[in-house]
Amino acid sequence: MAVAGLYRRILPSPPAIEFASSEGKELFSEALQSGTMEGFFRLISYFQTQSEPAYCGLASLSVVLNALSIDPGRKWKGPWRWFDESMLDCCEPLERVKAEGITFGKVACLAHCAGAKVEAFRTTQSTIDDFRNHVKKCASSEDCHLITSYHRKHFKQTGTGHFSPIGGYHAGSDMALILDVARFKYPPHWVPVSLLWEAMDTIDETTGHPRGFMLISRLQTPSLLYTLSCKHENWISTAKFLTEDVPNLLKSDDLKCVPEVLSLIFESLPANAGEFIKWIAEVRRQEENGSSLSTEEKARIAVKEEVLKQVHETKLFKFVTNCIYSASSQCENLSSLSDKDSLPEIAANVCCQGAEILAGGLGARAEFCCKATCVRCLKSNGDDPTTIISGTVVSGHNEQGVDVLVPSSPKNTSDRCNSCPCSIVVKHPASNDILTVLLLALPPQTWIGIKDEKLSSEIQALVSDENLPVVLREEVLHLRRQLHFLKRYPTRCHIKSGSNKTCSIGSSTPKTLENPSLADVLSGVSSPFEVPEAPCICSITSMRTGTRFTLPRKNRRWGRLPNLLIQLASLQMTSTLDSVCS
């Protein structure tokens, strides 16, 4: 009887050489003698198969993070903390990755969130010689690993874009060992470095940017309490506001004092700006530890509370707090932020998130409904009280009890009540400390446009990271690196259809691109524009000349459009485009 489905693929050889073949074994033995297989043993110890057809980026990163012995700081299953694909969800919803895959920039973003040091290079930012040197370096070390993003067609393999870690290098034949995480499809194999470079030097049709490689090591301190999130669809506008709009706003002649500076920024915040920076809570199942905290849980919550305490002690925090609560009634965006600061409001949302994580993070958020929550304080053995949100979350016919450990600190000692620990009034992460940290994380050059010298000096002193306590400074610098990375590697773009069925690049109405060449834009030299997810584009009209170019039917799907735009740009047909949908 016929069985539906596919059982693996035959590895096209040449150009690849199967790792387990006699020739592959010989290459391995020679490379081992040469010292360029040192990273292999760490990687192979944690090598895994991607659990979904589109999870190659997540699986590659899981392998590398575990090989580097980076602690995720949260539980995977049972008592174990371990990186799994389901835990790599801080930059992109897993359901979207499952359906569409993940881009180069988002994988790098995930590595940052996980606490790794990341150096990412698109092929336009490197050379084949540099790449070869990086492969040699990582293959000769246990402390740094390399993940490549490439197109399979250059190896005569089926499929398109793919991520996999590099497990070794053979200098004599100039070949790299690809540890293909799609083990259901192809085994590990050796490929020529020159051909691997060609496979990376291709355009990712989702973003219009070239692929590349990234070096991942464990030298960076992970987020302790705060992290940037690009899961919400408006993250691009928030990142742009922080890095581009804020410096321009600060050039105003009318700014005379710190409250005016903060008010100007806060009143201009994009909608849903609060979705861009999150505080990190620890989640556990209610039955795991009963009413007690483990030593490790106590240690982690203590570090988070120390960060929170240090934020509250900054001078900037006092200015931000006064500004927020004096302006929130007039400013809709600030009002929406402060509305979410109550623990009951936090409880329902965070318990649903916790249940999703404990379930493997694979479900849509809408599938989880918080049936009931309560906020309680846990105090034992003379320890400081810990705030816990307990909730019962319903998913289908299943119920899950969830505990969320909330970092908090007493407002003052007079608020303590020994007879009733639940009466303790606490400060938990809220919009004022989140915005304080976000301001501290902005690049130093953000503030140089302030014209009043005295005000400029005062602001510079408030936002300087030089005098911050060590733990808070590391947290701020980590967020700053994340923000820089998101700005440098924009990854998801959209085109929005207007009522007249005209889809313009970057907005719902036709927009003129001021860049000199679309080839520059698409290669990432200039700032990127938003690209379409529209189902079909039939023609492109030059707004400069009025010339209309009708696309061949085979090119009408968006996936084929970036290369076509590059061709049009190279023919000097247009520098400003309005794409028209059928």
Quick: pLDDT tens for 63-76. 999 999 988 877 78
134 in catalytic set: no
Whether residues 379 and 241 share a domain: the answer is yes
3-state class of 521 per DSSP? Answer: helix
Of residues 516 and 34, more confidence is placed in 34
d(Cα 432, Cα 427) in Å, to the nearest integer? 11
The average confidence (pLDDT) of the chain is 72
- Residue 162, Cβ neighbours under 10 Å: how many? 25
538 in catalytic set: no
Ranges 19-33, 359-373, 405-419, 488-502, most confident: 19-33
Ranges 61-65, 261-265, 514-518, 568-572, most confident: 61-65
Q: What is the mean pLDDT of residues 42-47?
A: 94
Q: What is the mean pLDDT of residues 388-393?
A: 65
Lowest-confidence range among 117-121, 196-200, 219-223, 541-545? Answer: 541-545
Residues 6+ apart with CB under 8 A from 213: 120, 121, 126, 131, 134, 146, 147, 148, 149, 200
Of residues 487 and 301, more confidence is placed in 301
In a domain, 377, yes or no: yes
Of residues 436 and 392, more confidence is placed in 436
d(Cα 283, Cα 353) in Å, to the nearest integer? 9
Whether residues 133 and 32 share a domain: the answer is yes
Lowest-confidence range among 55-59, 195-199, 386-390, 500-504? Answer: 500-504
Alpha helices in 37-168 (DSSP H): 38-45, 56-67, 94-100, 104-113, 128-139
pLDDT at 384 over 50: yes
In a domain, 8, yes or no: no
In a domain, 3, yes or no: no
In a domain, 7, yes or no: no
Ranges 16-20, 322-326, 390-394, most confident: 16-20
Catalytic residue among 56, 138, 144, 503: 56
Segments forming the whole domain that contains residue 534:
502-581
Cα four-point dihedral sign 517, 518, 520, 524: positive
Whether residues 310 and 420 share a domain: the answer is yes
Question: Dmax over Cα atoms in the chain, in whole Å?
Answer: 83
The number of folded domains in the chain is 3
Whether residues 475 and 510 share a domain: the answer is no
In a domain, 4, yes or no: no
* Residue-level pLDDT at 62: 95
pLDDT at 528 over 50: no
* Residue-level pLDDT at 236: 72
Domain end position, chosen among 159, 182, 217: 217
184-221: pLDDT as tens digits: 999 999 999 999 999 999 999 888 899 999 999 986 55
* Residue-level pLDDT at 330: 52
Lowest-confidence range among 150-164, 231-245, 497-511? Answer: 497-511
pLDDT at 418 over 50: no
* CA distance to 199, 213, 482, 533, per residue, from 239 (Å): 31, 24, 11, 21
pLDDT at 284 over 90: no
Lowest-confidence range among 81-85, 246-250, 567-571? Answer: 567-571
Lowest-confidence range among 91-95, 410-414, 520-524, 535-539? Answer: 520-524
What CATH number is associated with residue 78? 3.90.70.30
Q: What is the mean pLDDT of residues 313-341?
A: 68
pTM exceeding 0.85:
no
* Residue-level pLDDT at 221: 56
Of residues 556 and 450, more confidence is placed in 450
User: pLDDT category, 391, cuts 50, 70, 90?
Assistant: low
Whether residues 451 and 531 share a domain: the answer is no
Quick one: 577 exposed, middle or buried, by C-beta within 10 A (0-12, 13-18, 19+)?
A: buried
- Looking at residue 560, the DSSP 8-state letter turns out to be G
In a domain, 9, yes or no: no
Whether residues 318 and 389 share a domain: the answer is yes
In a domain, 132, yes or no: yes
Whether residues 571 and 464 share a domain: the answer is no
Lowest-confidence range among 93-107, 132-146, 375-389, 475-489? Answer: 375-389
d(Cα 463, Cα 439) in Å, to the nearest integer? 7
Helix (H) or strand (E) holding 386: strand 386-395
Whether residues 320 and 362 share a domain: the answer is yes
Domain end position, chosen among 456, 488, 520: 488
In sequence order, what E strands does 413-514 have? 426-427, 502-504
Ranges 158-172, 429-443, 564-578, most confident: 158-172
Q: Is the peptide bond before 222 cis (omega within 30 degrees of 0)?
A: no
Q: What is the mean pLDDT of residues 210-234?
A: 74
Of residues 576 and 5, more confidence is placed in 5
Whether residues 433 and 509 share a domain: the answer is no
User: pLDDT category, 162, cuts 50, 70, 90?
Assistant: very high
204 in catalytic set: no
Q: What is the mean pLDDT of residues 150-161?
A: 92
* Residue-level pLDDT at 378: 63
pLDDT at 368 over 60: no
Percent of the chain with pLDDT over 70: 58
Catalytic residue among 89, 180, 204, 578: 180
Catalytic residue among 134, 145, 162, 189: 162
In a domain, 283, yes or no: yes
Closest CA to 439 of 317, 329, 303: 317
pLDDT at 164 over 50: yes
* Residue-level pLDDT at 345: 55
d(Cα 34, Cα 40) in Å, to the nearest integer? 13
Q: Tokens 């450990």 — which residue?
A: 405
d(Cα 115, Cα 118) in Å, to the nearest integer? 9
* Residue-level pLDDT at 324: 80
576's tokens: 């400003």
Q: What is the mean pLDDT of residues 231-247?
A: 76
Domain end position, chosen among 171, 192, 217: 217
Whether residues 255 and 399 share a domain: the answer is yes
- Looking at residue 38, the DSSP 8-state letter turns out to be H
pLDDT at 522 over 50: no
Whether residues 364 and 513 share a domain: the answer is no
3-state class of 398 per DSSP? Answer: strand
Whether residues 474 and 533 share a domain: the answer is no
* Residue-level pLDDT at 154: 92
pLDDT at 280 over 90: no
